[in-house]
Amino acid sequence: MEIKLTLLPGDGIGPEIVTEARKVLDVVANRFGHTLYYNTQLIGGIAIDETGDPLPEETLGACLQSDAVLLGAVGGPKWDDPKAAVRPEQGLLRIRKELGVFANLRPVKVFEALAEASPLKTERVRGVDIMFVRELTGDLYFGTPRGREIVNGKRVGFNTMRYDEDEIARVMRIGFELARQRRGKLASVDKANVLETMRVWREVAHEVAQEYPDVQYEDLLVDAMAMYLINRPSDFDVVVTGNMFGDILSDEASMITGSLGMLPSASIGADGSIGLYEPIHGSAPDIAGKGIANPLATILSGAMLLRWSLGLHAEAEAVETAVAQVLAAGHRTGDIAAGGKALGTAEMGDKVCEALG
């Protein structure tokens, strides 16, 4: 297979971790007989510095011409002024919009070798394997009216929680399809006891559930879910939520594994659209340039890319197995070493390549 990928290293540790993911993709492509063509482009703070635009036209053009996009991270203190007219995150929001991706998939899987790194009790996290599906294009983040005004001499801010039935149905279907390929369970998280938007969410979720009688479905309120994730995380398979609740719950869930540096994500849209793959962590400016960042989340994002955008399941599994083997052999970067011996970013990438080779 001939594969065209756009790489967007971005800011902070982004270039370091994307380099390692590329190394691993090269090894897997070589092993399975594929040819990879890379186009590396600017996004985020570095794009603002060089072009004044967090998502330059050339970057967008390259992404739209490719089979999939792998991103490092954007942002950092240099571009943090909240009053600045252009900000790195705008590049991220725009690329998601332009690619038409509406579902963010975040697997939260506890590697056996790292179960003890979790802040939760080991017996509680062992075997946790949740797929979070967060809606990306609606909700409080995009609903209108939104804004701020002065009412009776007081500052007032307001946003609108809004979903239409099509937006809900398409993300629910992604969740149900995933559940079918996994353990056949889906939890839809809402706040239907209080919010009208979430009553529509639940109604539509139930309608879509009728199409999937083989999937065991449950409704959960977001406040209850926040508790269940801590006291019984291994009960969940696929969890589908709106944009706002998903933002918060998926970060909470990520802590179950004990390291941000381990968690990949995929943002996908309708069939045939171009997927965007990135680690869930940020640009980690505190460790940028030191060669100590954990590249595994980005490497695992590369595995998701192989599976979701290219349908290369055996290749994706080979990468995931290599990562599990490297961890089982005791190799760690600083963030997961618990004070023990730590490898650098490139050394960790090399270990994964060796395990693959």
CA 243 to CA 250: how far, in whole Å? Answer: 10
List 48, 287, 316, 319, residue binding ligand NAD (CB under 6 A): 287
CA 240 to CA 170: how far, in whole Å? Answer: 11
Q: How near is the Cβ of 87 to ligand NAD at its closest, in Å?
A: 9
Half-sphere exposure at residue 23, Cβ-oriented, CA atoms within 13 angstroms: 21
Which residues ranging from 82 to 101 are in contact with ligand NAD (CB under 6 A)?
92
- Is 293 a binding residue for ligand NAD by CB under 6 A? The answer is yes
Tell me the two tokens of residue 315.
Answer: 């290749």
- Is 282 a binding residue for ligand NAD by CB under 6 A? The answer is yes
- Is 240 a binding residue for ligand NAD by CB under 6 A? The answer is no
Helix 345-356, helix 313-328: angle, nearest 10: 120
Active-site residues, by number, are 141, 191, 223, 247, 251
CA 199 to CA 207: how far, in whole Å? Answer: 12
- Is 105 a binding residue for ligand NAD by CB under 6 A? The answer is no
- Is 68 a binding residue for ligand NAD by CB under 6 A? The answer is no
Tell me the two tokens of residue 102.
Answer: 């509406």
Q: How near is the Cβ of 60 to ligand NAD at its closest, in Å?
A: 17
Tell me whether residue 123 is exposed, middle or buried, using C-beta atoms within 10 angstroms of its C-beta: 0 to 12, 13 to 18, 19 or more.
exposed
* CB-closest chain residue to ligand NAD: 282
Rg (CA), the chain: 20
277 alpha-carbon distance from chain centroid = 7
Stretch that binds ligand NAD, among 111-119, 238-246, 276-284, 314-322 (CB under 6 A): 276-284
CA geometry: angle at 285 spanning 281 and 290, to 5°?
Answer: 105
Stretch that binds ligand NAD, among 71-79, 165-173, 211-219, 302-310 (CB under 6 A): 71-79
Adjacent-strand bridge partners of 278: 265
Q: Pick between residue 40 and residue 234 the one whose CB is nearest to ligand NAD.
A: 40
CB 259 within 8 A of CB 334: no
- Is 267 a binding residue for ligand NAD by CB under 6 A? The answer is no
Tell me the two tokens of residue 77.
Answer: 């203190």
Q: How near is the Cβ of 11 to ligand NAD at its closest, in Å?
A: 7
- Is 223 a binding residue for ligand NAD by CB under 6 A? The answer is no
- Is 24 a binding residue for ligand NAD by CB under 6 A? The answer is no
Q: Pick between residue 76 and residue 269 the one whose CB is nearest to ligand NAD.
A: 76
The residue ranges that bind ligand NAD (CB under 6 A) are 13, 73-76, 92, 260-261, 278, 281-287, 293-294, 297, 335
